[in-house]
């Protein structure tokens, strides 16, 4: 009893920045898991005779499970709090990693990815809800951008370090190391993160059925459709390029080694760390934020169209790096969501946005795998087809965002 009391007191005294960094460690691991496919793809193709479509399913399994769980994560946070939700889910990350590392059938590997996706489902949402609850509204975009930037440390791990490990050992060793890091992240959250003290007059705790109905009510608001349409393609474009096709493209198109691909991935991950904090500080506010989002989406589509054009190895690396930096504009979507809904719906709205974002990643990775598999039969280069498809989806998302109703409070 005494030990538990002392532990509780120590945790409660942790400053909010320490708690946010502990939560961010879990988010960093989820960033690592969602980008491993780019480095593991060559060995998985060799060991399992995996087709491009199968690789798309492997990469997409994480994101489909991650996205599909967001509604339940949002309700879990509202009913049980940030700490309990993330500590309950995250052990599945370790279980999925171990299953993946030991898999000798491709189906079990995909199942491991799905378990990891379920376990990582609260990883970023708990960070954004923590920021929304613990920091003033005018700092939301800047703090969220900082969290996104720091979370990108996970992508650094899936650059040169993981490439070296996979090249020297195997992709199985990569999953093993990530499992150990996941245990450490869970321990940090358990030790440091605490729920805020309850309000003096807490509201009546809603039932799961009521929570589901209130979540569903978001779909009745006319501006939700445009927000979801853009959310489904923006982050998906970055993760599909960086997390799935970067390695196969550089290896097959330009003859890069796996370690060289790791170096490129490391550079892209470094600049991707800079983008979100930068754009978070440059947030123009609700008056012009939506125009910035449309412009950023169209610029990124243009960069990927140029990658599709195959202008050479140097050009592909440079364009991908610039794409990684400019993708930081996507952090403005979080501020857009926060401004589009009343405070009472902020947690659910962010959950819906995150669900759309990651289901979009799963759909885009599956779709581009299908495009890559179909392209040779049509006389097209697979990488020309996939990059052009991603660019086209970005344009379509921007078009829907501008044509569908805008929020009246934005």
Please enumerate in sequence order all residues whose Cβ is within 8 A of that of 314, keeping only pairs 6 or more positions apart, or say none.
none
Under DSSP, the state recorded for 309 is T
SS3 label, residue 103: coil
Beta-sheet strands, E only, within 311-402: none
How many angstroms separate the CA atoms of 289 and 303, rounded? Answer: 21
Q: What is the pLDDT of residue 202?
A: 45
Please enumerate in sequence order all residues whose Cβ is within 8 A of that of 242, keeping only pairs 6 or more positions apart, or say none.
35, 38, 155, 265, 268, 269, 272, 320, 324
- Relative orientation angle of helices 171-192 and 91-102, to the nearest 10 degrees: 170
How many angstroms separate the CA atoms of 247 and 294, rounded? Answer: 28
Distances (CA, A) of 199 to 136, 195, 204: 17, 12, 11
User: DSSP assignment of 140-173, as one string?
Assistant: HHHHHHHHHHHHTHHHHHTTHHHHHHHHHS-HHH
How many angstroms separate the CA atoms of 96 and 83, rounded? Answer: 21
How many angstroms separate the CA atoms of 268 and 290, rounded? Answer: 26
- The contacts found for 348-351 with CB under 8 angstroms, 24 or more apart, are 348/74, 348/78, 348/214, 348/215, 348/218, 349/218, 350/74, 350/125, 350/128, 350/129, 350/132, 351/70, 351/71, 351/73, 351/74, 351/75, 351/77, 351/125, 351/215
Contact (CB, 8 A) for 65 and 114: yes
Q: What is the pLDDT of residue 204?
A: 55
Q: What is the pLDDT of residue 196?
A: 64
Please enumerate in sequence order all residues whose Cβ is within 8 A of that of 351, keeping only pairs 6 or more positions apart, or say none.
70, 71, 73, 74, 75, 77, 125, 215
* Percent above pLDDT 90 for the chain: 51
- The pLDDT of residue 15 is above 70: yes
pLDDT in tens, 281-313: 888 988 899 999 999 999 999 999 999 999 999
Q: What is the pLDDT of residue 108?
A: 95
Q: How many CB atoms lie within 10 A of CB 403?
A: 11
* Mean pLDDT, the chain, integer: 87
List phi, psi (to 5°) of 117. -60, -40
Q: Which helix (H) or strand (E) holds 132?
A: helix 125-134
- The pLDDT of residue 123 is above 60: yes
User: DSSP assignment of 183-237, as one string?
Assistant: HHHHHHHHHH--PPPPPSSPPPPPPHHHHHHHHHGGGGSTTHHHHHHHHTTHHHH
Helices then strands, counting H and E runs in the chain, come out as: 23, 0
Q: What is the pLDDT of residue 14?
A: 66
Hey, what domains does the chain have and what are their CATH numbers? 14-193+219-403 (1.20.1250.20)
How many angstroms separate the CA atoms of 22 and 127, rounded? Answer: 10
Q: In 3D, which of 340, 337, 358, 29 has the Cα closest to residue 177?
A: 29
> Structure pTM?
0.76
The predicted model gives 13-39 an average pLDDT of 87
Confidence label for 392 from pLDDT (cuts 50, 70 and 90) = very high
User: DSSP assignment of 269-301, as one string?
Assistant: HHHHHHHHHHHHHT---TTTHHHHHHHHHHHHH
Q: What is the pLDDT of residue 297?
A: 98
pLDDT in tens, 161-201: 888 999 899 999 999 999 999 999 999 999 999 876 554 33
Q: In 3D, which of 151, 191, 206 has the Cα closest to residue 347?
A: 206
């Amino acid at each position: 009893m005494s030990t538990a009391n002392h532990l509780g007191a120590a945790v409660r005294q942790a400053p909010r920045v320490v708690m946010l960094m502990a939560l961010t460690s879990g988010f960093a691991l989820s960033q690592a898991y969602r980008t491993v496919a780019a480095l593991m793809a060559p060995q998985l193709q060799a060991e399992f005779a995996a087709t491009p479509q199968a690789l798309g399913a492997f990469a997409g399994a994480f994101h489909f499970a991650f996205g599909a769980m967001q509604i339940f994560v949002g309700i879990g946070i509202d009913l049980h709090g940030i700490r309990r939700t993330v500590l309950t889910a995250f052990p599945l990350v370790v279980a999925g990693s171990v299953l993946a590392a030991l898999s000798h059938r491709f189906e079990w590997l995909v199942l491991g990815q799905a378990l990891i996706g379920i376990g990582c489902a609260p990883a970023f949402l708990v960070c954004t809800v923590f920021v929304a609850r613990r920091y003033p509204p005018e700092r939301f975009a800047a703090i969220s951008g900082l969290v996104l930037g720091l979370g990108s440390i996970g992508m650094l791990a899936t650059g040169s370090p993981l490439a070296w490990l996979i090249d020297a050992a195997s992709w199985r060793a990569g999953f093993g190391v990530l499992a150990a890091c996941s245990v450490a992240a869970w321990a940090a959250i358990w030790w440091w993160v605490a729920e805020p003290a309850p309000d003096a007059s807490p509201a009546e705790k809603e039932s799961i059925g009521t929570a589901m109905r209130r979540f569903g009510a978001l779909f009745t608001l006319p501006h939700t459709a445009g927000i979801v349409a853009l959310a489904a393609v923006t982050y998906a474009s970055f993760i599909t390029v960086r997390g799935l096709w970067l390695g196969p493209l550089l290896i097959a198109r330009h003859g890069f080694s796996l370690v060289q691909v790791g170096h490129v991935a490391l550079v892209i991950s470094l600049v991707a760390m800079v983008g979100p904090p930068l754009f978070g500080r440059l947030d123009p506010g609700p008056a012009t934020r939506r125009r910035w989002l449309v412009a950023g989406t169209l610029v990124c589509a243009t960069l990927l169209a140029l990658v599709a054009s195959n202008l050479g190895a140097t050009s592909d690396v440079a364009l991908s790096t610039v794409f990684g930096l400019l993708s930081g504009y996507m952090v403005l979507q979080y501020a857009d969501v926060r401004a589009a809904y009343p405070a009472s719906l902020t947690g659910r709205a962010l959950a819906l946005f995150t669900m759309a974002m990651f289901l979009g990643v799963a759909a885009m990775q599956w779709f581009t795998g299908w495009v890559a598999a179909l392209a040779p039969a049509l006389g097209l280069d697979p990488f020309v087809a996939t990059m052009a498809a991603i660019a086209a989806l970005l344009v379509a998302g921007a078009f829907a965002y501008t044509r569908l109703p805008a929020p009246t409070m934005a």
